[in-house]
Amino acid sequence: MSGLVEEPGGSVIQLRPAKARTRPATDDASGLRLTRRGRFVVAVLASLVALFGVFASQRATAGEPGSAVAVTPRTVVAGETLWDIASSQAAPGQDVREVIDALVELNSLSGSDLQAGQELLVPAP
């Protein structure tokens, strides 16, 4: 639409056709372009991922070691069970199962099987 237009004041204006807006050619095949806000969001997300990595890589440390327990060695005799040993060690009214758990942990036992002649550490009375 090219031509001349006369305004009411007598001046003449020449009209030119509008140029078609084209995007600049991009080298990448995807044609993906990030706006300023998009770049900001990507930067914030990358920062959050980096912060998560820093905090997630922190190692937990144990508190102070427990108090030392006085122990005495005991040799298992034929036919003796953990229940027998724990019953003899348990205080009156104490649950024998708790004593068994303590014996298993103290001696690093994988099960309840005992062998005659096996040395166990039992808490000293």
Which has the higher per-residue pLDDT, 27 or 69?
Answer: 69
Domains assigned to the chain: 71-123 (3.10.350.10)
pLDDT tens across 29-83, in order? 567 788 999 999 999 999 999 998 888 877 777 777 777 878 889 999 999 999 9
User: Which helix H or strand E contains 52, and what residues bound it?
Assistant: helix 36-56
pLDDT tens across 76-114, in order? 999 999 999 999 888 899 999 998 998 998 888 888 888
Contacts of 124 (CB under 8 A, 6+ apart): 69, 70, 71, 72
Are 87 and 96 a contacting pair, CB within 8 Å? yes
Whose structure tokens read 């937990």? 60
Is the pLDDT at 24 greater than 80, yes or no? no
